């Protein structure tokens, strides 16, 4: 029987769905309904699933908010999405309270023991006068009857340039919903076979982990929640619960590969059948090392919150075409355009535009003009730059907004990062452009060492890159940082690293 496992808690998925139906009924009684937003300021928790499923039952948008956000940042999203209800973990409520707009119904979820342990948090009870989510749900009668297909969660993009934007997708028809389940099975590997155990280790405020988790729930999988990514604990969870499916990001691969060999051999990972990764480019050497270790169970996708997954490939394809993010799926369309909107032939670099015809269209919440800016005819771009080969395999250079133009030459930081991450002693890195009076922009690299007490010298880093890259791709500035600012998913906040340089030059980024 399918169940959800979170720390010491084990709950049948039937019970999770029953509580979602109770919550849906209660939300309707509060006046929420089709097209309304229910905000979730939660870490990955059982209540996250209950509320998301409940939103789907009444045609509302579950709207996750990055719980790392400050009160002001979270308050902006609450106002922008027009949230009618909010779920928040009890330890986060005191910080968030001042930013919650009037008129929002607030439900508090006691922060569970496994999350408190992972983040070293105190046990904060539900404050007097606040509404406990669990108690409120228990008092509701389950919603009954046939309901239309659920809306996708309204995910707010990362906001690398300006404020985050909410991707508000139209509700699918029954036919579209059925095809999306098929697409999800073909890319994520999640099918209603009754034998799937999916491990969730990425934050569900991000688009792909959220879509993956909700598809797992709707296809009847058992779901194991890892409260915070830890590489050895991940291996232990796979062995303990016979995990078959998992979504992961390349940074996690890097941390897993740095485990001692004795630790890697300690755990039985033979239950794994389908590991899917995306969200950032994966260096070919890292991909090969993971396939050597885990076997040909590793698959990769490429897409975006706005477009869905349009590109996918298997382990065998990755080894045959190192560096690709996959081949265009038969249900998707991908085009590479130049600055004038002209389609480029295979092998030529341009901006990548894509779509899935059967995916309901979207707009940005309250910003139809920004939706028009990313469109070309019926295609959409998120600013990625790359090319497609003769066989339909897509290769990325970088994001258009991250591309550095130095002395009139285009430089793609992702290429440099892929080399630098392979240097002994380097745990992680970020390369980006900074102002340069002579060249307009020059390159800066931040390096997080394996051992802060024995970090490679900047000269050694430049020397390592100089043996592998053209001179114009070498960073002029190299900084060593004990740790890099990052989200819980492991993705680095490049904007925080880049901002001081541009602010010092009196320019916006």
Tell the residue number behind the tokens 């395999």, with chain if given. Answer: 393
pTM of the model: 0.82
Average pLDDT over residues 60-84: 92
Structure tokens at 212: 């993956």
Q: In what order do the strands lie in the sheet with 440-449?
A: 426-436, 440-449, 477-480
User: Can you name the residues that pair with 245 across neighbouring β-strands?
Assistant: 198, 274
The pair phi, psi for residue 229, each rounded to 5°, is -65, 125
List helix spans (H) across 267-320: 284-294, 315-320
pLDDT of amino acid 162: 56
256 pLDDT band (50/70/90 cuts)?
very high
- CA neighbor of 262 nearest in space, from 235, 288, 239, 299: 235
What is the pLDDT confidence band of residue 159, given thresholds at 50, 70 and 90? very low
Residues 6+ apart with CB under 8 A from 142: 18, 21, 22, 25
Neighbours of 412 (CB within 10 A): 21
Domains parsed from the chain with CATH numbers: 3-147 (3.40.50.980), 197-330+358-373 (3.40.50.12780), 404-504 (3.30.300.30)
Rounded to 5°, angle at Cα 282 from 280 and 285: 165
Tokens of 487: 């989200």
What's the CA gap between 85 and 61, in Å, rounded?
11
- Using CA atoms, how far residue 348 sits from 104, 375, 403, 455, in Å, is 50, 21, 16, 39
| Range 459-470 average pLDDT | 91
- 192-214 burial: b if 16+ Cβ within 10 Å, else e: eeeebbbbbbbbbbbbbbbbbbb
Between CA 70 and CA 64 the distance in angstroms is 14
- 204-225: per-residue pLDDT in tens? 998 899 999 999 999 999 999 9
**DSSP code, position 379:** E
pLDDT at 160: 40
Give the pLDDT confidence of 75-126 residue by residue, as tens digits. Answer: 999 999 999 999 999 999 999 999 999 999 999 999 999 999 999 999 999 9
> Strand pairing of 83-89 and 333-337?
unpaired
Q: Which residues contact 270 (CB under 8 A, 6 or more apart)?
A: none
Q: What are phi and psi of 105, to 5 degrees?
A: -80, 125
Q: What residues contact 320, with CB distance under 8 A and at least 6 apart?
A: none
Q: Considering only CA atoms, give the Rg of the chain.
A: 23
Q: Return the structure tokens found at 467.
A: 């043996």
Beta bridge partners of 429: 447
Question: 336-362: b or e for each residue (b if 16 or more CB lie within 10 Å)?
Answer: bbeeeeeeeeeeebbbbbbbbebbbeb
Residue 508 has pLDDT above 70, yes or no: no
For residues 157-185, average pLDDT: 82
**Residue with tokens 């250079």, as numbered in its chain:** 397
Could you tell me the two tokens for 156? 């707010």
With 50 as the cut, is the pLDDT of residue 241 above it? yes
């Amino acid at each position: 029987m399918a169940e959800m496992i979170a720390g010491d808690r084990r709950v049948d998925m039937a019970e999770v769905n029953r509580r979602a139906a109770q919550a849906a009924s209660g939300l309707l009684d509060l006046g929420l309904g089709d097209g309304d937003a229910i905000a979730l300021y939660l870490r990955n928790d059982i209540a996250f699933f209950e509320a998301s499923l409940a939103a789907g039952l009444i045609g509302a948008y579950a709207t996750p908010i990055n719980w790392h956000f400050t009160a002001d940042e979270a308050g902006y999203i609450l106002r922008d999405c027009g949230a009618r209800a909010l779920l928040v973990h009890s330890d986060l409520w005191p910080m968030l309270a001042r930013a919650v707009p009037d008129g929002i119904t607030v439900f508090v979820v006691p922060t569970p023991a496994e999350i408190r342990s992972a983040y070293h948090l105190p046990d904060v009870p539900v404050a007097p006068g606040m509404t406990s989510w669990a108690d409120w749900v228990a008092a509701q009668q389950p919603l009954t009857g046939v309901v239309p297909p659920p809306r996708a969660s309204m995910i707010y993009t990362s906001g690398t340039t300006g404020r985050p934007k909410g991707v508000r997708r139209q509700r699918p028809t029954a036919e579209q919903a059925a095809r999306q389940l098929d697409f999800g099975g073909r890319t994520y590997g999640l099918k209603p076979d009754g034998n799937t155990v999916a491990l969730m280790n990425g934050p569900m405020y991000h688009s792909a982990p959220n879509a993956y988790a909700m598809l797992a729930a709707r296809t009847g999988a058992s779901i194991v929640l890892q409260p915070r990514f830890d590489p050895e604990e991940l291996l232990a969870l796979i062995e303990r619960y016979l995990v078959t499916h998992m979504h992961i990001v390349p940074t996690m691969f890097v941390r897993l590969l740095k485990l001692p060999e004795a630790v890697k051999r300690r755990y039985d990972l033979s239950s794994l059948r389908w590991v899917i990764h995306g969200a950032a480019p994966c260096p070919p050497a890292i991909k090969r090392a993971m396939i050597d270790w885990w076997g040909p169970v590793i698959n990769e996708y490429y897409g975006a919150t706005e477009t869905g997954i349009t590109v996918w490939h298997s382990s065998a394809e990755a080894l045959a075409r190192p560096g690709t993010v996959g081949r265009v799926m038969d249900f998707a369309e991908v085009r590479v355009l130049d600055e004038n909107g002209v389609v480029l032939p295979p092998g030529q670099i341009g901006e990548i535009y894509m779509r899935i015809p059967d995916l309901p269209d979207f707009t940005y919440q309250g910003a139809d003009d920004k939706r028009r800016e990313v469109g070309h005819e019926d295609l959409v771009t998120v600013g990625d730059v790359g090319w497609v080969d003769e066989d339909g395999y897509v290769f990325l250079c970088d994001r258009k907004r991250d591309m550095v133009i130095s002395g009139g030459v285009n430089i793609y930081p992702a290429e440099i990062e892929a080399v630098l991450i392979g240097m002994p002693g380097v745990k992680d890195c970020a390369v980006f452009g900074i102002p340069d009076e002579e060249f307009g922009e020059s390159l800066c690299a931040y390096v997080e060492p394996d051992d802060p007490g024995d970090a490679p010298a900047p000269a050694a880093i430049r020397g390592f890159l100089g043996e592998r890259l053209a001179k114009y791709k070498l960073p002029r500035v190299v900084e060593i940082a004990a740790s890099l600012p990052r989200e819980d998913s492991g993705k680095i906040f490049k904007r925080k690293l880049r901002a001081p340089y541009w602010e010092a030059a009196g320019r916006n980024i």
